[in-house]
Amino acid sequence: MKVLRIILQVGILYVFSFAGGWIQQALDLPIAGSIVGLLLLLLCLAIKVVPVVVVEDGASFLLSILPLLFIPAMAGVMNYPGLVSPTGAALFLIVIVSTVVTIAVAGHASQLLEKRSKRKEEKRCSNSCSQS
């Protein structure tokens, strides 16, 4: 049953990606359709048109296999020996630095959100405990 739910949820995520691609082509936007799809999903989640429960397991599954999704891209780099040059080295450095910065920012943001959540929980507890 859980496998079917994950497949359905990944399908829902794919629909958002497909819709983003369609919107990008229809409006001739300068950003990738997958990004438009992610923004559309974020908007639907923010205004609660799509509850998080509808995509949670599918998104968790995709995140768990995310490293496997990069293997074809890395294998494709082997077809371009020109990337192993000074320009390629600069690109490699840029990818490494941007990855480290992304990890650091994501970690910092998650810690801030965790602290905010704990403060709200403590405030909620103190309000309910003082009213009793």
Instruction: Give pTM, 2 decimals.
Output: 0.55
Structure confidence at residue 25 (pLDDT): 92
Q: For residues 60 and 86, state if they share a domain.
A: no
> Does some domain include residue 74?
no
Structural domain count, the chain: 2
> Does some domain include residue 15?
yes
Structure confidence at residue 27 (pLDDT): 92
Q: What is the pLDDT along the chain (132 residues), one digit of tens a residue?
A: 888 988 999 998 999 999 999 999 999 888 888 899 999 999 999 998 888 888 888 888 888 888 777 776 666 666 776 666 777 778 888 989 999 999 999 999 999 999 988 888 888 877 776 665
Q: For residues 86 and 57, state if they share a domain.
A: no
Q: For residues 52 and 109, state if they share a domain.
A: no
Supply φ then ψ for residue 55, to 5 degrees: -125, 0
Structure confidence at residue 43 (pLDDT): 92
Burial 80-114 (b: 16+ CB within 10 A, else e): eeeeeeeeeeeeeeeeeeeeeeeeeeeeeeeeeee
> Does some domain include residue 36?
yes
Structure confidence at residue 78 (pLDDT): 67
Contact 6, 57 (CB under 8 A): yes
**3-state SS record for 60-128:** HHHHHCHHHHHHHHHHHHCCCHHHCCHHHHHHHHHHHHHHHHHHHHHHHHHHHHHHHHHHHHHHHHHHH
Q: For residues 51 and 92, state if they share a domain.
A: no
Q: For residues 59 and 88, state if they share a domain.
A: no
Structure confidence at residue 119 (pLDDT): 87
For residue 28, the one-letter residue type is D
Domain boundary among 64, 98, 114: 64
Domain housing 105? 81-132
Domain boundary among 64, 90, 110: 64
Structure confidence at residue 132 (pLDDT): 55
> Does some domain include residue 71?
no
Structure confidence at residue 77 (pLDDT): 65
